[in-house]
Amino acid sequence: MYGFLSRHKHGLHWLHIGLVTGALFIVVPVIAWTGGGVPSPWRAVLVFGVAMVAWCQNIGLAHHCTHHLPRAPRWLGRFAARFVHALGMLPYTQARLAHRLHHVHLGTPLDPDRIGYESTTTVWKRLRYLLMIGPLRARFAPVDTSYAIDAMSAAQRGEHARRCRRDRHLVVATHILLLLACGLYYPVVFVALLVANVLSNMREMAEHGSKGTGVYVHIHVSPLGVLLFSTPGFWFHGIHHMDGSIHYLDLPLASRRFEIKHNLPYLQRQSAVAYLLTGR
């Protein structure tokens, strides 16, 4: 039903990837090396602001790439997917497996991300998840995918392990390049990554949390939210969970036409911040 919507969107998807990559590897280094690379407070603030928005957008791109490779020759699309994950310090193969299991098992004990809604039933638990568990959890994904790996054949497990090792090497190589590009400002960029991750976890709580049960959620869109809580697709997460084949750039239009068919509650929320403070 929605396949025709995406035919003009693939160029915008690549532009989005290019803008994020350019912000981190061109704009931030230009700012960092202005004045001979001597650190200054105003440059640090500017680097932090640009990097944080870029990281927030990159989280959305990485999420979409777990479902769909950018349209291109397969080797290029796969490398782009691995690269945007490596920027966020995520091994692509591991993250893709965990996220696809999350879609299949949303709201059940087999959901690898169930901590995202089971740990957010009170304000204190939401703050604890956001500030303590959140920054580490999303980057290094201590989620349980062992049952899926155990179900693989020996050859499949070996190939999965090989790809995970290759992804980890790419993560290290990518951040070495970022360190060389940003020089003394790399710690500022890394802090921006952690802050973007906290914002992402706040959004994730609002998308999935409802007294410890999984739900489909539509969060109302705001321009600031799109910048700091990541790409437009996240604001239509309930529709995305109902049909993961829809391109993230098509979700706003699809949400107006989508016939809701589900076995979980479908909620509409005003904002991720409101959910953090009120649970609504």
pLDDT digits (tens, 9 = 90+) for 81-95: 999 999 988 889 888
Q: Residue 1 pLDDT more than 60?
A: no
Write out pLDDT tens, residues 18-33: 999 999 999 999 998 8
More confident residue, 231 or 241: 241
User: In the prediction, which pLDDT does 159 show?
Assistant: 87
Instruction: Compute the distance between CA of residue 249 and CA of residue 268 in angstroms, rounded to an integer.
Output: 20
Residue with more model confidence, 245 or 196: 196
- At 2, the pLDDT band (50, 70, 90 cuts) reads very low
Smallest CA-to-CA distance from 225 within 270, 195, 278 is with 270
Name the region of 23 (left: φ>0; alpha: ψ -120 to 50; beta: rest). alpha
pLDDT band at 262 (very low <50, low <70, confident <90, very high): low
Q: Residue 51: is its pLDDT beyond 50?
A: yes
pLDDT bucket at 206, cuts 50 / 70 / 90? confident
- What rounded mean pLDDT belongs to the chain? 81
Cα radius of gyration rounded to whole Å, the chain: 19
Query: Cα separation of 210 and 103, whole Å?
Result: 17
Interval 251-263 mean pLDDT? 70
- What confidence score (pLDDT) does residue 267 get? 78
pLDDT digits (tens, 9 = 90+) for 88-120: 888 898 888 888 888 888 777 777 777 767 777
Average of per-residue pLDDT across 159-173 = 91
CA nearest neighbour of 59 among 246, 203, 222: 203
Q: Tell me the H-state helices in 113-222.
A: 115-118, 123-128, 134-140, 146-150, 154-182, 186-208
- The yes-or-no verdict on residue 75 having pLDDT over 60 is yes
Pairing relation of β-strands 216-219 and 266-269?
parallel
User: What CA–CA distance (Å, rounded) separates 48 from 196?
Assistant: 10
CB burial readout 60-91, b (16+ within 10 A) else e: bbbbbbbbbbbbeeeeebebbbbbbbbbbbbb
- What residues does 218 pair with on adjacent strands? 268
Chain centroid, CA 27 distance in Å: 22
Top-ranked range on mean pLDDT: pick from 41-55, 123-137, 138-152: 41-55
What average pLDDT does the segment 142-147 reach? 69
N-term to C-term CA, the chain: 32
CA 195 to each of CA 136, 151, 178: distance values in angstroms, whole numbers, following the listed order: 11, 36, 17
Question: What is each CA distance from 126 to 81, 102, 175, 197, 277, in whole angstroms?
Answer: 30, 20, 30, 15, 9
Is residue 280 a contact partner of residue 229, using CB atoms and an 8 Å limit? no
